[in-house]
Structure formats: structure tokens, C-alpha cells
Amino acid sequence: MSVRSLILLFNLVAPPMALAIWGLGGSWFWICGALIPAHALWLWATLVPNCSWWGPQLRRINSAGRNVWITIDDGPDPADTPQLLDLLDGQGAKATFFLIGSRAERYPELVKLILARGHEIGNHTYHHPAGWFWFFGQRKVNDEITHCSEVLKAIAPGLKLRWFRAPAGFRNHHVHPSLEKSGLKLAGWSVRGRDGVSQDLGLISARLRSGIQEGAIFLMHEGRVDQKGNRLAPQVLACLLDELQKADYKAVIPTV
Ligand SMILES: [Zn+2]
């Protein structure tokens, strides 16, 4: 039996077990003893980044050489995306942009531009409900994923989507069944600069630099500004590309 099935089974039997213990006059110690571990396992599988208990998640690319994968979340962004594309093209680097469906709908020309410049596009939900996606039921998870795919495919007919990234990396047990239906795979990461929460370029770049190695997956975000109000993503990407070049690594789109 898979870890996924065990956790789901445990969460299914824990509430009636707790109820039975309560009915038999058992103490709170035993009632909590039935419920807390079941919920803790569910929360761990859902909220711990890159945990694969609910299903497979790519955390490193199969690399035959000094190759890495740069992934850029939360676009498209009219201020950042064109600059990011110029930086990538300037170094002959390729990246995957995980786009939010509602933003793609607002800036369809940027979606087309990313593809025209030879980069890849991934699904990052329609609304990007970062605070609640992990708590959604099957129908809402499905809606977020399929609606985003539909928007991207309407902008770029014939587009073949391969990857999905969950908002903030949180994903519950409903996500993998939805991905299977949509023909998508879950993309994790091996290193992130935490540029979604930090505005400190030095700190963000140091975190990314520490993760440079064969097969690394870098996670960064667009649509943010630094402490001085300057666009953050182009600065982060410029530093990362520079470090990769110095260490003789190539940013590619994985074939798996
Ligand atoms: Zn995001």
C-alpha cells in the first residue's frame, strides 16, 4: 500500500475511532491520540514543500551534463517578463514560466512572446489562491487547474502543457488525480531564493547560488520590487545567469 493510501485510510478511520472512544467513555488522551497523528500526517504531506507522499514531484532534472532548470512563477508581468526574456536570450538560456491563468488572460501578448522566444509555459492555477489552494476540495482544485490550461491553450492553440506548479508549493491529495486527468506533472524545485517574501537581492542571490549543481531546479518569481522599489526579478535572474555562466552551467528546459 502506498504512503498516500495509508494516510488517506488513517484519516478516514480516525474520526469514527475517536467517536467510538468518546462513546465508550474514553479519555481525551485517547481521542486526541486517534485524531492528531492522522491530521498531522495529512498536513505534513500537504504543506511541506517538495514532499512526495501524495504523488510524484520533480525535484531535480535528469541531467547528462552541467544542466539546470530555471523556473519563473507568477507571471506574466508587463514590467518583468520582457526584461527576463532579454536576459535569458542574452545568455542563450532557456526557462519555464509558470503562469497564472487570470494574468495570462490579461496579457495574452506576453504569453505569445514567451513562446515565440523559445521558452516553455507551465500551469500555475487560474486565480493563484496561495493561502487556500491546499484546503480546496476536488472540484475547486480541478477548476483552478483546468481553467488555467484552457486559457493558455486558447491564447496559444496547439500548446502542449507538461507541468503544473502549486501556489506556494502547497498541494493536497486532490491535486494528483486532477493532474493525471489534465496530462500534467507536478514540478517542485531543489532551490529557491524566497524572492516571494524577501526583497533583499543579496540574500536571494546567495540562496540561489548555494544550490548550483547538476540537475538543480531554481524557483524564482516575477512581479516583485526590491527595497528601493526597483524591479526585483530581472536583478535576481541577472545574478543567477551570471553565477551559472561563471560555474559553466547551462539553463535548459528538461526533456522529461
Ligand atoms: Zn506562485
pLDDT digits (tens, 9 = 90+) for 75-98: 999 999 999 999 999 999 999 999
- At 256, the pLDDT band (50, 70, 90 cuts) reads confident
C-alpha torsion angle, residues 125, 127, 130, 135 (rounded to 10):
-80
Task: Give the separation between CA 199 and CA 109, rounded to whole angstroms.
Answer: 28
Task: Give the separation between CA 92 and CA 33, rounded to whole angstroms.
Answer: 56
Which CATH superfamily includes the segment(s) 67-251?
A: Glycoside hydrolase/deacetylase (3.20.20.370)
Q: What is the pLDDT of residue 23?
A: 87
Residue 202 has pLDDT above 90, yes or no: yes
Indicate which residues carry an active-site annotation.
Answer: 73, 221
Task: Give the separation between CA 205 and CA 73, rounded to whole angstroms.
Answer: 16
pLDDT digits (tens, 9 = 90+) for 2-58: 999 998 998 898 888 888 888 888 888 888 888 899 889 999 999 988 899 999 999
pLDDT digits (tens, 9 = 90+) for 134-172: 889 999 999 999 999 999 999 999 999 999 999 999 999
Rounded to two decimals, the pTM is: 0.93
What is the average pLDDT across 185-198?
Answer: 94
Cell digits of residue 60: 531535480
Strand positions, DSSP E, 76-215: 95-99, 120-123, 163-164, 185-186, 191-192
CA 91 / ligand 1 centre spacing (Å)? 25
Domain boundaries, the chain: 3-47, 67-251
Inter-residue contact 226 to 235 (CB < 8 Å)? yes
Q: What is the pLDDT of residue 185?
A: 97
C-alpha torsion angle, residues 213, 217, 223, 224 (rounded to 10):
-40
Task: Give the separation between CA 195 and CA 208, rounded to whole angstroms.
Answer: 10
Name the average pLDDT for the chain.
Answer: 94
Inter-residue contact 61 to 67 (CB < 8 Å)? yes
CA 168 / ligand 1 centre spacing (Å)? 5
Largest CA distance in the chain: 71
CA 74 / ligand 1 centre spacing (Å)? 5
Q: Please, what sign has the CA dihedral across residues 231, 193, 162, 2?
A: negative
CA 65 / ligand 1 centre spacing (Å)? 29
